[in-house]
Amino acid sequence: MKKKRILSGMRPTGKLHLGNLHGALKNWVSLQNDDGYECFYFVADWHALTSDYKDTSEIGENTIDMLVDWLSAGLDPSRSVLFLQSEVAEHAELFLVLSMITPLAWLERNPTYKEMREELADRDLSTAGFLGYPVLQAADIIMYKAYGVPVGVDQLPHIELTREIARRFNFIFREVFPVPEPLLADVPKLLGIDGRKMSKSYDNSIYLRDRGDTLYGKILAMFTDPDRKKKSDPGRPELCNVFAFHRLYSPASEVEQIEEDCRKAAIGCVECKRRLAVAVAEGMAPFHEIQDHYFNNLDEVRDILAAGTDRAREIARLTMDEVRDALKIYRINKA
C-alpha cells in the first residue's frame, strides 16, 4: 500500500510552549507513528521573513531551538523528513509560478491576512511578500503532492487557498497537483498562566524547556476558576485551566479525585497546583533529557536537518521538472 503523504511546517519562533505541543506537535508525532503515513515537517524560515524582515537576527537561532524541541517531543528523523524551507530553492521557484496565476482578490479577502495585519499593526506589512504569504504556503504543500496537512483552525483559510491554487494550476496547465486535505486534530483547550491564549508575546507561556523552579513557579502562578475566591468556595473544574492541564498530565484516578474534591471545596488551589507541578515535571523529564542531548551535540541537529533537506530537495526537483513540462517552457537540457 502506498503511504499517504503528510506535510506541515512551523515558522521558526524559537523555543516552543505547551500550547504548541498539545495543539500541533503531538498530532505530528502520532501521524509519524502511524504506518499509513509518510511525514514531511519543515521549518518555514522564508515565512518568518514576511513579518520579521526588518530584524532577521533571530531566525537562525530560532530554527535550531525549534528543531531541538521537535526532536524532544518525539519527531524522529528516521521516520519523518525534517527539513529547512530556505535550503530547498524549489520552494521559491514554485512560489514564483503560483504567484503568476493567483488572483490578487483571493489574497486580499483572506481573513488570516486581515487579522495578522491588525495584530501586527506596529509593523509595515504593506509588502508583496506579506500579501503573498499563502502563495508560498501553497507552494510548500503542493510541491510534495501532500495528501494531508495537519494544521490548527487558524490555518484553514490558507489551506482553502492552497486548494484553489492547485485546482487553478491543474486547470490552466495540466493535472499535476493533488488537492490537499486539511487535517484538524482534536486539541485540548489550554491557556497561558494568566488565562489568556498561550503566546510568546504575552509572556504567559510554559515552555517545553522549563524545568525546576521555573516550571514550578509558573504553575503555582496559574489562574484558576475565576470565581473561587476562598478555599471554602466550591470550584468548577470545567472552567479551570489548571484542571485542563491535570487531564493531560495526571493519572485518570487522580483527575477524578481532584474533580470531586474541587467541587466540594475539599482541596485548595495551591495544593492542586503543587500536584500539577509534580506531574508536569515528571511528564516533561524525558523531553529535557533529549534536549540536553541535542544541545550538547548540535552537530547532530545540523546533520538531521541536512539529511532531511536533501531528501526533500529530491522530491521538489521532480515536481519542478513536471511543472516546467506543464508550462511548456524551453528546456536546455531536455530533448
By CB under 6 A, name the binding residues for ligand TRP: 7-11, 44, 47, 137, 140-141, 149, 151, 155, 158
CA dist., res. 104 & res. 203, Å (int): 36
- Grid coordinates representing 145 are 503532492
Q: Is 225 in the site for ligand SF4 (CB under 6 A)?
A: yes
Residue in 131, 235, 279, 291 binding ligand SF4, rule: CB under 6 A? 235
262 makes contact, choosing from ligand SF4, ligand TRP, none, with CB < 5 to 8 Å by partner type, with ligand SF4
Q: Is 228 in the site for ligand SF4 (CB under 6 A)?
A: yes
By beta-carbon proximity to ligand TRP, the closer residue of 8 and 72 is 8
19 makes contact, choosing from ligand TRP, ligand SF4, none, with CB < 5 to 8 Å by partner type, with none
By beta-carbon proximity to ligand TRP, the closer residue of 146 and 190 is 146
CB of 154 to ligand TRP, least distance (A): 8
CB of 149 to ligand TRP, least distance (A): 5
Among 316, 306, 331, 283, residue whose Cα is nearest residue 21: 283
Q: Is 280 in the site for ligand SF4 (CB under 6 A)?
A: no
- Grid coordinates representing 202 are 504575552
Q: Is 240 in the site for ligand SF4 (CB under 6 A)?
A: yes
Q: Is 165 in the site for ligand SF4 (CB under 6 A)?
A: no
155 makes contact, choosing from ligand SF4, ligand TRP, none, with CB < 5 to 8 Å by partner type, with ligand TRP
Q: Is 193 in the site for ligand SF4 (CB under 6 A)?
A: no
Q: Is 237 in the site for ligand SF4 (CB under 6 A)?
A: yes
Residue in 6, 71, 191, 262 binding ligand SF4, rule: CB under 6 A? 262
CA dist., res. 134 & res. 163, Å (int): 11
The terminus-to-terminus CA distance of the chain in angstroms comes to: 34
Q: Is 242 in the site for ligand SF4 (CB under 6 A)?
A: yes
CA dist., res. 277 & res. 291, Å (int): 20
CB of 189 to ligand SF4, least distance (A): 14
Q: Is 224 in the site for ligand SF4 (CB under 6 A)?
A: yes
Q: Are 193 and 206 in contact (CB under 8 A)?
A: yes
The residues of the shown chain that bind ligand SF4, judged by CB under 6 A, are 224-225, 228, 235, 237, 240, 242-243, 258, 262, 267, 269, 272-273
